[in-house]
Amino acid sequence: MQFDQLLQYTLSGLSTGAIYALIGIGFSIIYNATGIINFAQGEFVMLGGMLTLFFLETLKLPLWAAIPCAVAASTAAGMLFERLAIRPLRRPTPINLVIITIGGSILIRGLAMLLWGKDTHSIPSFSGDDPIAVGGATILPQHLWIMGITLLIVAANKFYFYHTISGKAMRACSYNRRAAGLVGIDVRRMVLFSFIISSAMGSVAGIIVAPLTMTAYDVGVMLGLKGFCAAIIGGMSSGGATVVGGLLLGVLESLGAGLISSGYKDAIAFIVLLLILFVRPQGLFGKAQSERV
Amino acid sequence: MRIRVISSLIVLGSLIVATAALAAAPIKIGALFAVTGPASFLGEPERNSAKMVVDEINAAGGVKGHKLELVVYDTSGDATKAVQLATRLIKDDKVLAIIGPSTTGESMAVIPVAEKDHIPLISCSAGIKITEPVKRWVFKTAQNDTLAVGRIYQQLQKQRVRRVSILTVSDGFGSSGREQLKAQAARFGITVVSDDTYGPKDTDMTAQLTRIRGIKPDAIICWGTNPGPAVIARNARQLGLKIPLYMSHGVSSRKFIELAGDAAEGIRIPSGKVLVAGLLPKSDPQKKSLMTFVKDYQRHYHAEGDHFAGHAWDAVMLLKGAIERGGNSAATIRDQLEKTRQFHGIGGTFTYSAHDHAGLGKDAFVLVEVKGRDWVIVK
């Protein structure tokens, strides 16, 4: 095994993993604020890419303007989703909510298909396509963008959750909703916030990968699942653990495809998911929760 | 007085009915396409071009005075649904022939229905199993994968390439290509030195390509439909691979160049002639059909008519030919279809016989290469 091959697998894995991490954090934020898994998370990733394309091609905006517009529009979609589908529910049991998010994801995907058709589209890279050599391996400038933006968002998240009032309130909701309500935190508003943050993050993920992976109405399904795996490995934490989970998943996939067989690439992701759920349901780094009676 | 008015109305009415019956009854043709669902990239253009060509035939007065009536159903790529709809076409709509379905899986499921009810079926899918062994009522217009693989290997043999790596998508199209690539290699003196796959929704194939780079083959053959091959082209450029890259007819459209951008340069594929219709020499027997088809499709749908759309065009035109030669029932249409000789269509030049219901030869494919963001014919 040559060193530069190994390096290439690792680098490819890290850059794919960064995306999984970003999507995974979106899952955990909503999970922590509401206790539900938002299976529509992948669709916001798709919306990010497709809306950027829409602003670029149909409204002829330059790339730097199209991206914020796309993030704003997908965030609005996330808000609308929470308002119309999550909040009105009279008896919000987790199973009802999960099924609603699955329904929502099918609806969003269907609308996107009707609006923009079934074709795959490409978006221009942010800064060219000339490969950069790292040791014996190569990466694209877009990979640097992906890693950089992921880092930035994770740092911003950390700041928000630990150093702002509303971030702290959201954490309070995640520990104990009722107690948070009792001390005067508007839990429903926090739920709305969590949808806003995670749909914005999902769309950013969708935008920064689109130049590499291209985008279509149905890209959200697989990316969403992989992001979900990352969140599970990270024990549904909205910080570093999920990032590590995503990176780990990306590297495992890439090493698996390179060293064992490419046929098992997706299998590896799901075997890891199952193993974690069986052996360490609290996540790779989490402490087992003890129920106090 | 009143009675006279009524009776004259009755006479008038029966006269109208009689004349309508005298003007030849329309000939009903059924069509099953996967207009929605995962195979919609096949079904949608197929439906478009079938409708287009039927409208045009009718505008020109129909076939021997009979108008054609096309009944299209959407199978959404589902074999069970395709069988139900085929039965409906035969029992309720009483069609004389069926065009489609779009995918090999659906075609295989519908074949027993057509065989049992004695209705000619012209499938638009590529699987070799559809017409091999020959089934009495089943024909097809899409080129076999065998021919596409053969066309690539023929070129490789000419360039004395011996070691190839293959990278195929893990769906029906890819696995059929993979089988053919492995089965035919020996006949051209070629060894498949590595065999990798990727998922239809995968977004990064650098791992597979890095592995292949380590093996150092003389050529890479990638078998898939968009967007996978475009991702592979971009990944290959990122890794700086200098190994010649061949792909399948699954990406034979301008869309591929649009998706892969500069990374598409130099990639070669076997393609139906429709992709390079304008570049063909005047002597090419298909040139006339191809140019008509491309222009009509552009005019009707403001889109590029691809070879998938061509499969349905060929199917309708083959039926038209059979009816012109005297086919007026399911059985006679079938007999006349089998007598098709040298029909220059979109997919190639069709000659059916009792032993061959696929009808195409090696000349159905040309090898094309991306140069300056466009397809050119490899000499």
Give dist(CA A173, CA A165) in Å, integer. Answer: 12
The DSSP result for A141-161, as a single string, is HHHHHHHHHHHHHHHHHHHHH
Mean pLDDT (whole number) for B133-155: 92
The answer to whether position B172 is within a domain reads: yes
- What's the pLDDT score for residue A292? 47
- Cα–Cα dist A168/B184, whole Å: 65
**Mean pLDDT of all residues in A90-117:** 89
Is residue B10 a part of any domain in this protein?
Answer: no
Min Cα–Cα distance to chain B from A99, Å: 22
A16 and B231 in contact by Cβ < 8 A?
no
Same domain as B202, residue B108: no
- For residues A256 and A264, the answer to whether their CB atoms sit within 8 Å is yes
Beta-carbon count within 10 A of A59 CB? 10
> What is the ipTM score, two decimals?
0.84
Dist CA B317 CA B323 (whole Å): 10
Do the Cβ atoms of B239 and A9 come within 8 Å? no
What is the structure's pLDDT at B244?
Answer: 95
pLDDT at A18: 92
- What pTM value is reported for the model? 0.83
Question: Please, which residues 116-175 of chain A have a Cβ atom closer than 8 Å to chain B?
Answer: 118-122, 129, 131, 138-140
A37 touches chain B (CB under 8 A): no
Contact by Cβ (8 Å): A234, A285: yes
What does the pLDDT look like over A127-183, one tens digit per residue? 888 889 888 888 899 999 999 999 999 899 889 989 999 989 988 888 888 898 899
> B178: distance to nearest CA of chain A, Å?
13
Alpha-carbon distance A191 to nearest alpha carbon in chain B (angstroms): 32
Tell me if A8 and B206 make a contact (CB, 8 A cut-off): yes
* Torsion-angle region of A235 (φ positive above 0: left; ψ -120 to 50: alpha; else: beta): left
3-state secondary structure of B350: strand
B133 inside domain: yes
Question: Which stretch of DSSP H or E encloses residue A107?
Answer: helix A94-116
Contact A221 B201 (CB under 8 A): yes
Decide: helix, strand or coil at residue A123.
coil
pLDDT at A118 over 90: no
- Backbone φ and ψ for B184, nearest 5 degrees, come out as -90, -15
- pLDDT of B269 reads 94
Quote the domain boundaries for residue B271: 146-275+365-377
Q: Are B19 and B61 in contact (CB under 8 A)?
A: no
- What total of structural domains would you count in chain B? 2
Q: Say if B156 falls within a structural domain.
A: yes
Task: Indicate whether B33 and B105 sit together in one domain.
Answer: yes
- pLDDT tens for each residue of A218-266: 899 889 999 999 999 888 887 788 999 999 999 999 988 888 887 787 7
Q: B28 pLDDT exceeds 90?
A: yes
CA geometry: angle at B275 spanning B160 and B233, to 5°? 60
By Cβ distance, the residue of A138, A213, A222 closest to B238 is A138
Residues B255, B372 within the same domain? yes
B1 falls within a domain: no
| Mean pLDDT score, A27-46 | 89
Q: B32-72, pLDDT tens digit by residue?
A: 999 987 788 889 999 999 999 999 999 999 998 899 999 99
CATH number for the domain harbouring residue B334: 3.40.50.2300
Q: Residue A224 has which token pair?
A: 């969403």
Mean pLDDT of B291-308: 90
Q: What percent of chain B has pLDDT over 90?
A: 70
Within a domain: B212: yes
Are B233 and B369 found together in one domain?
Answer: yes
**B350 and B370 co-located in one domain:** no
How confident is the model at residue B332, as a pLDDT? 95
Q: Report residue A68's pLDDT band, with 50, 70 and 90 as the boundaries.
A: very high
Is A131's CB within 8 Å of B238's CB?
Answer: yes
Which CATH topology does A7-279 take?
ABC transporter involved in vitamin B12 uptake, BtuC (1.10.3470)
* Sequence-ordered list of residues with C-beta below 8 angstroms from that of B41, at least 6 positions apart, any chain: A118, B225, B226, B308
Instruction: Closest CB to B198: pick one of A120, A219, A262.
Output: A262
What lies within 8 Å, CB to CB, of A135 at 6+ separation is: A3, A4, A7
Q: Which B residues in the span 197-226 are in contact with A, Cβ-Cβ below 8 Å?
A: 197-199, 201-204, 206-208, 210-211, 213-214, 226
A87 Cβ under 8 Å from any chain B Cβ: no
